[in-house]
Amino acid sequence: MEQLRFDGRVAVVTGAGGGLGKAYALLLASRGAKVVVNDLGSARDGVGKSNFADAVVKEIRDKGGEAVADYNSVVEGEKLIKTALDNYGRVDILINNAGILRDKSFQKLSEQDWDLIQAVHLKGAYKTTQAAWETFKKQNFGRVIMTSSNAGLMGNFGQSNYSAAKMGLVGLASTLAIEGAKYNIKVNTIVPTAASRLTEDILPPDMFQAMKPELIAPVVAYMVHESFEDSGIIIDSTLGFAHKAHIVRAPGVPLRNKPSDPVTIESVKEKWSDVTNMKNAKRIDKIAEVTMDLVQNLQDFEERSKLDSEHPSYWSTFSYNSKDLVCYALGVGSSVVNPSDLRFLYESHEDFSALPTFFILPGMSMESPVVADSMPPGKHADFTNILHGEQYLEIVNEFPGTEGEFKTRTYVVDVLDKASGAIAIVNSEIFQDRQLVLRTQQHIFIVGQGGFNGPRDSKNAVPVQPVPKRAPDAVVEQRTAEDQAALYRLSGDLNPLHIDPNVATASGHPKPILHGLGSLGFAVRHVLAKYAGNEPSNVKAIKARFAKPVLPGQTLVTEIWLEGKRAHFQTKVKESNNVVIAGAYVDLKNVVKEGNATAGQAQTQSSAGALKSDSLFAKIQDGIKANPDKAKSVGAVYLYNITSNGKTVKKWTLDLKSSLSVYEGEPKNGKADTTLTVSDDDMMDIAAGTLGPQVAYLKGKLKISGNIMLAQKLGPLLKSDAKL
């Protein structure tokens, strides 16, 4: 790397007679800066006199550098800045480093101890910085360092005065970073730990010796260089290490159950573990973000409260990625033996997709207490007395992508009295980016909990439909594997009934049984292949009743009747001829009969606004213009599919063969030699060098089809020309 220089820059370093300040002054001077070496000339406690600054100036000059001594107090900061202006005509860099200690336990701390520390650390930095501010603004350049301390960031016994001043500097830096932004004034905070009384007793002697100011000075020097772009950040550094620090905030919770409730001391206490739960804490950079966050929280709270007033709801989240989809697909009998299944098993397949029944899972929150809570007095439901009776799924609009996160609202819409038991009708509404994308409904049968004079039926229940009374239009037979349930369990339902022979026997089964949803996954795959061209996005809704259990290894026979756009089906076990899935149907958007050519209906391409990677392709374009020969030597056409939530939202063509150009959309001439599919975020990480392309590929984050070898040629081009 070229040396980072400070030629022509004028730096003021306060407290530069020794220690850290001296190290800063020497380093900046050695790199061409003219340095004002400020030192009050007193000892650590602010008392006494000395001429340390002269010695530092001499050392700088002896090495051929430029420097001048300044003996003013930082509380009269304007005098320090005047020294810079008088001697060098400008000031570019200010390192507020001067400081003293007056450690006392809080009770013994005198008002003078308090005032002196505030004056030197906080007011001194304020005064000196303010004195330089107009110059910084006029010249559209300024670099300011505030010096804080871990005693400020975390508190330290006997340093109440010092912690207050040191944390005050962090607050001052934050506001000055904001005010300086449009004038290229960067204000940052260093938290240095050099050998000092503070650390002498705590550290091993070797380490204490090793805490040299020279190990911190390059960090501060980089932070005041003209190439430094961060502002308002905190950097903790010592011993040749550095760490950024910042404040994060918990997501926060409403302190009451609904907006019409009062907030009371008791309701606060009740919610306290949520208030202080830092698990999903995040950085909030600007005060405006706090406000936006607040508006969003409040809207969510009001909306959810309104929903809750209709039916007590439970909210949960569900995340999935391509690995989850492949695992699920294997769990419901997709196999590489059928080439048409490969799109469900291979994350880099050009038509890689979820199976539609996968989207039943985000509605299956295990934590939800809604069924137990909805039981009539004297009746109870827990996982030992419930059975999954029926299942409904509706794809509300577009078919979801191959990765994403959902928020699910689950609630009981009715509890039916079926004498022998109760049935809870459990609805889930599943949102992505605040849009309703899926609905599910489960009928949960609660054994032995009927007879409470409840309703027998519900208009809210989506009913099963009897299959037509004629021979089926299609029949699909598939044997389940002996390990089918063991494999399906990896998709999240760990009920031991499906793996533990003892539990299975206790429940009256000869061996662990398949998951009902596992069998349903098989059956819907059969319908998909026969009447939907194996294209999941053709599915609109699914309904089924679980009539009897299936044992792993048994053969499923799915009988299908097509009536308009509805494919009725039922599934039997071949060995027993029992109907195991009854009254079921799939509603289709398009009927595509097996063998008809246009099976792979392209998924709707969502329209996308500006993406982060747009700038990257602009840079690649620049790179090609700057170096057309290098670009031409690649000799291939690349198509990038940029995805968001697992869906392609923008396409870019890199034509490095004929037209040497980069443009949005598919190749205008001919076909791409290599197609790369990658999310907007991952694309940025690859360009920034934080995600290696090879790693991205091997982890399935970068999908490559067509000529894989040609992708290798792209690497160097991307790396050297497009690094952000």
Q: Which residues are catalytic?
A: 162
Residue whose CB is less far from a second copy, 105 or 460: 105
Annotate 35-100 with DSSP letters as a single string.
Answer: EEEE-----TTS-S---HHHHHHHHHHHTT-EEEEE---GGGHHHHHHHHHHHHS---EEEE----
The answer to whether 101 and 158 are in contact (CB under 8 A) is: no
- Report residue 281 as tokens: 């804490």
Task: State the Cα–Cα distance between residues 292 and 301, nearest whole angstrom.
Answer: 14
Residue whose CB is less far from a second copy, 166 or 540: 166
Residue whose CB is less far from a second copy, 406 or 488: 488
- Could you give the 3-state DSSP secondary structure of residue 420? coil
Minimum distance between the CB of residue 410 and a second copy, rounded to whole angstroms?
14
545, with CB counted inside 10 A (0-12, 13-18, 19+), is buried
Minimum distance between the CB of residue 700 and a second copy, rounded to whole angstroms?
5
- Report residue 411 as tokens: 């609630």
Residue whose CB is less far from a second copy, 43 or 263: 263
Residue whose CB is less far from a second copy, 626 or 695: 695
Minimum distance between the CB of residue 233 and a second copy, rounded to whole angstroms?
7
Task: State the Cα–Cα distance between residues 17 and 71, nearest whole angstrom.
Answer: 10
Residue whose CB is less far from a second copy, 199 or 645: 199
Residue whose CB is less far from a second copy, 33 or 412: 33
Q: What residues does 675 pair with on adjacent strands?
A: 639, 705
Q: Which amino acid is at 29?
A: A
- Report residue 79 as tokens: 């005098």
Annotate 287-346 with DSSP letters as a single string.
Answer: HHHHHHHHHHHHHHHHHHHHHHHHS-EEEEEEEE-HHHHHHHHHHTT--TTSGGGHHHH-
Minimum distance between the CB of residue 489 and a second copy, rounded to whole angstroms?
7
Residue whose CB is less far from a second copy, 349 or 630: 349
The answer to whether 512 and 497 are in contact (CB under 8 A) is: yes
Among 26, 149, 138, 30, which residue's Cα sits nearest to residue 91?
138
Residue whose CB is less far from a second copy, 135 or 648: 135
Minimum distance between the CB of residue 87 and a second copy, rounded to whole angstroms?
23
Kindly list the distances between the CA atom of residue 280 and the CA atoms of 249, 252, 257, 274, 552, in Å, as whole numbers in the listed order: 8, 9, 21, 11, 40
Task: State the Cα–Cα distance between residues 289 and 708, nearest whole angstrom.
Answer: 43
Task: State the Cα–Cα distance between residues 526 and 341, nearest whole angstrom.
Answer: 11
Q: What are residue 507's phi and psi, to 5 degrees?
A: -90, 5
Q: What are residue 373's phi and psi, to 5 degrees?
A: -70, -20
The residues, any chain, with a CB within 8 Å of residue 376's CB and separated by 6 or more, are: 415, 422, 452, 454
Minimum distance between the CB of residue 84 and a second copy, rounded to whole angstroms?
18
Task: State the Cα–Cα distance between residues 540 and 18, nearest whole angstrom.
Answer: 74
Q: Measured on CA atoms in the order 552, 553, 554, 558, is the torsion positive or negative?
A: positive
Residue whose CB is less far from a second copy, 42 or 257: 257
Minimum distance between the CB of residue 524 and a second copy, rounded to whole angstroms?
19
Residue whose CB is less far from a second copy, 343 or 572: 343
Task: State the Cα–Cα distance between residues 657 and 374, nearest whole angstrom.
Answer: 66
Minimum distance between the CB of residue 692 and a second copy, rounded to whole angstroms?
6
The answer to whether 498 and 514 are in contact (CB under 8 A) is: yes
Residue whose CB is less far from a second copy, 287 or 597: 287
Task: State the Cα–Cα distance between residues 525 and 299, nearest whole angstrom.
Answer: 40
DSSP 601: P
Minimum distance between the CB of residue 405 and a second copy, rounded to whole angstroms?
18
Minimum distance between the CB of residue 166 and a second copy, rounded to whole angstroms?
6
Task: State the Cα–Cα distance between residues 152 and 149, nearest whole angstrom.
Answer: 5
The answer to whether 345 and 334 are in contact (CB under 8 A) is: yes
Beta strands in 554-660 (DSSP E): 555-563, 566-573, 579-588, 637-644, 647-655
